[in-house]
Structures are given as C-alpha cells and as structure tokens.
Amino acid sequence: MDKYIDGFVNSFIGTLNWTWKSIVFDVPWYINYFWGLIILSLLVWGLEIVFPWRKNQSIFRKDFWMDAFYMFFNFFIFSIIISGVYKLLALFFMDIGVSSKSLAIINLTTLPAWLQLIIFFVVLDFVQWFTHTLLHRYAFLWRFHKVHHSVKEMGFAAHLRYHWMENILYKPLKTFAVMILGGFEPEQAYVVHFMAIAIGHLNHANIKLSYGPLKYVFNNPVMHLYHHAYTLPEGKNGVNFGISLSIWDYLFKTNYIPEDGGKIPLGFAGDDAMPKSFWGQLFYGFGSQKNQ
C-alpha cells in the first residue's frame, strides 16, 4: 500500500514541478509544452487575423476567453490533478505483469528514427479516430463530448474545449497504442504529440485550408468545420471524425464535405441547454439523461 501512496504523491508533485519548470524555462525548449502551446496558439491566431475565412467573425470570437482557459485547464491543471491516478493504474498493471514489453508487438528500436515517428503518428491517430467515433456513437459518451460541440463560432482555441472526461476516455487507448510499439522514446512522443496539436489548432481555426490533393491524407479546416455542423446527413451520428489524418474517414466512408463556403450553423440540437460558463460545463454530463 505504501508503494501506491508514494507513487500517487510523487507523481502529483512531479507533474506540478515539471509544469512550473516549463513556465520558468527550466526544461529543454523542445519538450516545453507550456510555452510551445502559447507560441503555436499565437501563430495560428495570427493566421486567423490576417487570412480570416469567415470575415464577419470577430477576432475575439464568441467564447474566445473561455476556450483559451480550457487550453490551460485541460493541458496543465487537469494533468496535474489526474497524474497521481494514472500512476496508480500504472503500478497496478505492473503488479499483475502487464507492461510495455509484454504488450509490444513491434520493436521500433530496429527502425530508423523517421520511420518510428511516422508509424507512431499513424497508429496513434487511428486510435484517436476510433475513440472519436465512439464519442458520437454512444449516448453516455456523447453527453460529455457535447461540450466540445457546443462551439458556435470556430477558432483555434476551440480545439481544446472539451470535457475533462475525454481525457479519461482517450488516455487509456493512447497509452495502449504506445505500449504496443515497443521502444518509443518520450522525446519522440513529444514530437508526434505536438504535431497533432498544431494540426488540431489549424483544423479549428478560422482559415480556409484544404491542402489540395493532400486533403485525402490530412484533416483540414474545411473538412473539420462540417464535423461541427448543426445539421448532419440523415441517419448519421457524425461525420469527418479525423484528428490529424483524414484518410480514415475516406477509408471508412465517414467523409462529408458538401461545399466550402464556411458559413454554416454549428452545434447540435438542444445545445441551448448547454451551460454557458466553464464551471457549468465542468460538471455537465453527470445529470439526468432527460436533461442532457
């Protein structure tokens, strides 16, 4: 029991210290999530300002500041809070003999670094695409995912407006993806993770990009806008589920881009009942089904 208590406390304190070191530039720049997120956000926001797709949308769009807070809450505050719990789970699985070595089906250490990155990027993206489809398919998961779809005007910060329960849902599957790819290093994971953040920021930004023929490979702002459309094709519980790659949607026939005008209502039926404040959304999804 002492091992679990020590693991919980040390993980919580360690994550807190790491976050503080990131803020005060006491970690290597290439693994500094805190300032990396800020710089990336400013760059993409600058593109929105200079090349706006929906020109009548304000620079400080609806819920801009709440979404900006969501970025820091989901990326840092909640990560600190939940870190001890993840450590407990890791210790438990180690005690029952489940580890990255026992689950690894591919030894990436035998491959060139560039190929390791590509494989990890593709595998992780598929896992996230699949998880995303589940969030739309099952009502008890959709209740939490509604927070992300309550965005009424798209902008880069909407990327990280999501219910904290999504961290709970995504993390185990993402960790599993890491474990089956034996030998993948944390520094490499940072590169892949930050690439996904950059693409996600762009996908939610108020800019018109489709990447030409590469739209069949990479998700993009035009495609992702219709994922957030208020009106979906009949019989569909969602479209364009891609996170970084669009290829999964084209392969599994969940792609949908009827036009590229960009001026469509966003949200979902009944979204007027969604709490408007961060604190209201923080506990959304746990009430009675008829009210949510």
Q: What pLDDT does 137 receive? A: 94
Decide if 243 contacts 200 (C-beta within 8 A).
yes
Token pair, residue 232, equals 């979906």
| pLDDT at residue number 136 | 95
pLDDT in tens for each of the 292 residues of the chain? 777 787 878 888 999 999 999 999 999 888 898 999 999 999 999 999 999 999 999 999 999 999 999 999 998 999 898 888 777 766 666 666 655 555 566 667 777 878 888 888 898 899 899 999 999 999 999 999 999 999 999 999 999 999 999 988 777 776 666 666 655 555 667 788 889 999 999 999 999 999 999 999 999 999 999 999 999 998 888 999 999 999 999 999 999 999 888 889 999 999 999 999 999 999 998 865 555 5
Residues forming beta bridges with residue 245, ordered by sequence position: 218
Task: Give pTM, 2 decimals.
Answer: 0.89
Return d(Cα 23, Cα 219) in angstroms, integer: 31
- pLDDT value at residue 261: 86
Catalogue the long-range contacts made by 34-39 (C-beta closer than 8 Å, 24 or more residues apart): 34/76, 36/194, 37/71, 37/75, 37/197
